[in-house]
Structures are given as C-alpha cells and as structure tokens.
Amino acid sequence: MRDLVETARQWVAEGRVGFLARPVTEQGFGPRDPAGAVLVDVKGECVGALYRGVFDAELVAEAASMGAGETARVCEVSVGGGEAVEAKLTCGGQAEVLLQPLAAIPREWWELLGQGVGVALVTQLNERADQAVSVVVRGADQPSGDAERRAGELLRTRRPGRDALYAGSGLVLVEAYPSAPYVVIGGAGELAEVIEAQARLLGWEVSVVTAVGEAEKLLDVRRDAACLAMLSHDPDFDVPTLRTALALGIPYVGALGSRKTTARRREGLLAAGVSEERLRTVHGPIGLDLGGQTPAETALAICAEILAVLGGREVRGVRDAEGPLKG
C-alpha cells in the first residue's frame, strides 16, 4: 500500500477518477502479500500488485461500471489452478475485493502512509456494500469500538495486516500498516552486512552502528519501531547500548555471542542497574535455534527471531537451547 502513495496523490491532484482495490476476504492463493493493493482507473491503467495482476482487467471493468453515487463495491473474483500457474501464483483461490473511489479515501491516509508512520484505515460498509465510510486510526488513538481495538492490535504486530469484522450495519474492513521494523545493528563486519541484506529483503529499515552515542540516538528517535541486534563483543559498546535499549523498552533486543559472552554482558548489565525482569527480555544468545553456522544462516535465524517476537509468536530461540551453540 505504501508504494501507491505518490500515484494516489498524483491522481487526486489531477482530478483523475481512480479507485483503490484491496481484498476483504480471501481463500487459497498460498502465501501472499498482506499489503497487496492496486490502483485502477476507468481507462485501464493499473498501479500496484494484487494477485500478480490476474484480476486487473476484471477490476477495471467493475470500476468503470460503478455509478456516480457509489462509494464502494465488493467484487467476487476467483482463479483456477491452471490460470494460477500461468500467473505464477502458488495456487488458485477466491476473494472478495473492495473497490473505492479515491475521493472516498481520506487524504490523511495517504499523507501518513507517505510519512512512514504506523496507521490503520477502518472502512464501514452498509448492508448492500455500495456505500462506505473510511476513517484513519493511529496507533496512539484510544479505541472507540471493536474495529479501532482490532486496528491497534494489528499495528502492534509490526506487520501489515487486514481483518474483516461484521457489525450490525454491515462489514467493517480493518487495514493496518505499522511503521517498518528498524533494525539497529551494533557492530560492523560480514555478519552485519548479511543481516542488513536479509532485513532489507523483508522491507525493513537498517542502520549499522559502531559507536555508543550513535546507537543510543537512533534507538531513542525510532524507539517505536527499533530493534537492536548487538554483534559487538566490546564491553564499552555492547553493555551501555543494551542498557539504553532496555531502558527505552525497545520491542526486540538481541545479542550475539557465546554463553560466556552472554554471561559477561549479564553481569555488566546487572552492575549498571538493569533489573532481572528486564534482562529476561534479552534474546541472547541471539536468533532462532535453526542449527545455522554460516553468516547467511545466522542472519536468517536472527531476522526470523525478530519477525516472530514482533508478531507475538512463541518460538524456540538459541538462548532456550542446551548444549553447544553450533550444531
């Protein structure tokens, strides 16, 4: 969705009649982008990615047939196995796709998405699904109902997500786009480079830092989305940086090292006034217990653990394993 911001703004400024299409309900298709959406206009231009474009022509036709008074339309689409293979989808599936004129989407939505902040859009449809009202919800907003509460839950997962709720007057679509995880890597080197590449593949932001002041500044400024992956074994760098991350309540704090190094850091953090309770939140030794040995495998284990922790998943980390760290 964020990749549509500039186009949506341009079309609105030009007065072009455009429509935003995104799924309400889905079955099948295999793994798919939870942020998938496409902009279409009545002349057939499509910008964005939704099911690899297999329904674009159908959505353009639906948009062209919408009446002047309609602010929404729910289109049922489906694709069989053969067409799915041709479109390079994992498998066939069916979905209900919501079409809305850009004029019905709050401009604030595009502004906040463009700024990269965490934000949700709550769209209430009437019983006939031909009228809709969309409102913007920020993560810090107090929920006024089930839809706003669900928006807050989705934003806290740090991953784009959608959910459909059913209220008395019709369906409610909740779309959440949290700010992307911001990984601060403490310490340079080959592993830092591979973690950076893996994180960027996931669409995350990354900074590699080697100084305490620089690390502390980035963690403080981006504390809502920051994650710390401490690779350095320098006590003058790792302990104060870890202490700052814990004091700020960073969602994910991990530290690479042997059990001996982990114990050394623990003693240093205790001496610096960090409580036992806060220490238990540190993922050290860092990463999921995948048996990885190469830098690429270790980077995968670290990024997978960050993903799991931010998503509230219970997984087995290396810190919970017994025996040697390298299998």
Chain segment 233-260, per-residue pLDDT in tens: 999 999 999 999 999 999 899 999 998 9
Residue at which a domain ends, from 177, 198, 228: 177
Predicted confidence band of residue 322 (pLDDT cuts 50, 70, 90): low
The answer to whether residues 146 and 43 belong to one domain is yes
Residue 325 lies in a domain: no
More confident residue, 69 or 316: 69
- Same domain? For 17 and 70 the reply is yes
pLDDT bucket at 327, cuts 50 / 70 / 90: very low
Same domain for 228 and 165 = no
Q: Do 141 and 188 belong together in one domain?
A: no
Total structural domains within the chain: 2
Q: How many CB atoms lie within 10 A of CB 42?
A: 15
Question: What does R_g of the chain's alpha carbons equal in angstroms?
Answer: 23
Closest to 311 (Cα-Cα) out of 184, 159, 160: 159
Residue 123 pLDDT level (bands cut at 50, 70, 90):
very high
Is there a cis peptide before residue 160, judged by omega within 30 degrees of 0?
Answer: no
Which residue, of 116, 148, 177, is where some domain finishes?
177
What was the pLDDT predicted at 167?
76
Residue 16, pLDDT > 50, answer yes
Give pLDDT tens digits for 85-119: 888 888 999 999 999 999 999 999 999 999 888 89
Beta strand 182-186 with 119-125 is unpaired
Does residue 111 fall inside a structural domain?
yes
Q: Is the pLDDT of residue 273 over 50?
A: yes
pLDDT in tens, 66-85: 988 899 999 999 999 888 88
What secondary structure does DSSP assign to 34-52, as a single string?
TT-EEEEETTS-EEEESGG
Q: What is the pTM of this model?
A: 0.71
